[in-house]
């Protein structure tokens, strides 16, 4: 039932033409294993928090509402997933940034992609970005790649401001 309600929430939040690639809870389970408990919540950022996150990430937030997934096992936090929904060219992409409890980018999961699939960044490129643990500045990047890099910066700044150590 939980997966069904999550699917409808995502379905309502995305334009009807979205190509859903994976459910966020499934992506979290894939990263933290079947024994992990995945919970979700919406965070409402204050204007001050949003401004601090924008300064830290050097990117603009499109909303003050952030969907966060948390993976736990035996009351221990394993990590978080932060869902970012941003326009790439003319349509939205939804990406889940999985951040470990060591404050590193563990994985990047493209949840839904509205642009033509040939614009979808390759899995190899996404894996390379998430395996470095650092988000590089990129010049001349395609819009999809820039979107993912900017999203990574936002997700890490949200984690630092709202979730780390809490």
Residue that has been written with the tokens 């924008």 in this structure: 54
Q: What are the pLDDT digits (tens) for 42-53?
A: 999 999 999 999
Average pLDDT over residues 152-162: 94
Asked whether the beta carbons of 72 and 37 are under 8 A apart, the reply is: yes
Among 43-52, 55-64, 110-119, 127-136, where is mean pLDDT lowest?
A: 127-136
Q: What are the pLDDT digits (tens) for 2-22?
A: 555 554 445 445 444 457 888
Rounded distance between C-alpha atoms, residue 157 and residue 166, angstroms: 15
Q: What are the pLDDT digits (tens) for 57-90?
A: 999 999 999 999 999 999 999 999 999 988 766 7
pTM: 0.76
């Amino acid at each position: 039932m939980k997966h069904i309600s999550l699917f409808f929430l995502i379905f309502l939040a995305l334009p009807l033409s979205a190509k859903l690639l994976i459910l966020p809870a499934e992506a979290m389970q894939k990263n933290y294993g079947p024994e992990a408990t995945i919970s979700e919540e919406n965070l409402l950022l204050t204007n001050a928090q949003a401004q601090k996150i924008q300064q830290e990430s050097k990117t603009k937030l499109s909303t003050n509402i952030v969907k966060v997934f948390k993976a736990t096992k035996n009351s221990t936090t394993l990590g978080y997933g932060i869902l970012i929904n941003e326009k790439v060219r003319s349509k939205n992409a939804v990406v889940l940034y999985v951040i470990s409890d060591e404050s590193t980018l563990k994985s990047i999961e493209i949840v839904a992609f509205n642009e033509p699939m040939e614009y979808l960044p390759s899995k190899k490129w996404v894996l390379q970005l998430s395996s470095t643990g650092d988000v590089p500045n990129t010049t001349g990047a395609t819009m999809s790649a820039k979107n993912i890099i900017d999203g990574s910066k936002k997700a890490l700044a949200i984690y630092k401001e709202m979730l780390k150590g809490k």
